């Protein structure tokens, strides 16, 4: 792909996605094209575990992911007022809620910059950041069910139930944490239907949108009535 991109003027891309739409794959393709990091659920869980606010054990990560999580964790030590107590063992779920910590992780990631953030309501948390592109990836339900069937080796009924449950979980999470609907088009700069565009085309379109938004920051246009 040939792009006249201005990635250094943009902090991040947030990727919200319907389950099975290919949003996660697009996020990884975007990060690869730009040479950026990916912040996904695995990293959030890892940072939460480092903060001692989650009982879940993080899955195994490669060196690149571990390194970025460590950079996030170290960056959070310099917040004022400090996010973490001097003794991490003093931290408990009563001191910092998961939602508050998640927000701090996401804003720290954006401040570090050059990161593609997958899910976790980042499009709302970072809504005030002008130098962040907010992307939503959707697809027809039948296509998403077929994708999950192939990927996870499931029958149609089980895959359909899984798609429905994951969508509802994501909707509920955003509504509870941010009091808004994940499907609200006003939260996004670009919404892509992978039922109409394949993953490569979707990635290309998102990269162009990133370029256009970067250029608009460098050369703002004043609208007239």
- Classify residue 224: in a domain, yes or no: no
- Classify residue 82: in a domain, yes or no: yes
Q: What is the CATH number of the domain that holds 126?
A: 3.40.50.300
Residue 193 is inside which H or E element, if any?
strand 190-193
Share of the chain above pLDDT 90, in %: 39
Taking only the tens place, the pLDDT of each residue in 76-104 is 554 444 444 444 444 444 334 566 777 77
Mean per-residue pLDDT, 116-120: 89
CB 37 within 8 A of CB 68: yes
Could you tell me the residue range of the domain that residue 12 belongs to? 7-139+181-218
Work out how many domains the chain is built from and give that number: 1
- Classify residue 190: in a domain, yes or no: yes
- Classify residue 108: in a domain, yes or no: yes
15: left (phi over 0), alpha (psi -120 to 50) or beta: beta
- Classify residue 145: in a domain, yes or no: no
């Amino acid at each position: 792909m040939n792009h006249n991109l201005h990635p250094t003027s943009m902090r991040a891309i947030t990727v919200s996605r319907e389950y099975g739409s290919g949003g996660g794959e697009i996020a990884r393709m975007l990060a690869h094209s730009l040479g950026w990091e990916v912040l996904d659920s695995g990293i959030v869980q890892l940072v939460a575990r480092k903060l001692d606010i989650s009982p879940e054990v993080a899955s195994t990560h490669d060196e690149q992911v571990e390194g970025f999580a460590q950079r996030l964790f170290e960056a959070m030590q310099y917040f004022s007022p400090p996010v973490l107590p001097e003794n991490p063992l003093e931290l408990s779920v009563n001191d910092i809620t998961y939602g508050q910590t998640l927000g701090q992780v996401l804003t720290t990631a954006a401040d570090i910059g050059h990161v593609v953030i997958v899910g976790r309501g980042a499009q709302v948390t970072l809504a005030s950041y002008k130098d962040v592109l907010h992307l939503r990836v959707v697809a027809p339900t039948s296509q998403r069910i077929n994708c999950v069937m192939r990927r996870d080796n499931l029958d149609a009924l089980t895959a359909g139930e899984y798609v429905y449950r994951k969508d509802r979980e994501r909707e509920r999470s955003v509504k509870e944490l941010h009091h808004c609907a994940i499907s609200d088009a006003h939260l996004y700069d670009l919404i892509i239907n992978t039922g109409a565009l394949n993953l490569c085309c979707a990635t290309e379109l998102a990269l162009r949108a990133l370029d256009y938004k970067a250029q608009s920051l460098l050369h703002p246009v004043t609208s007239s009535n």
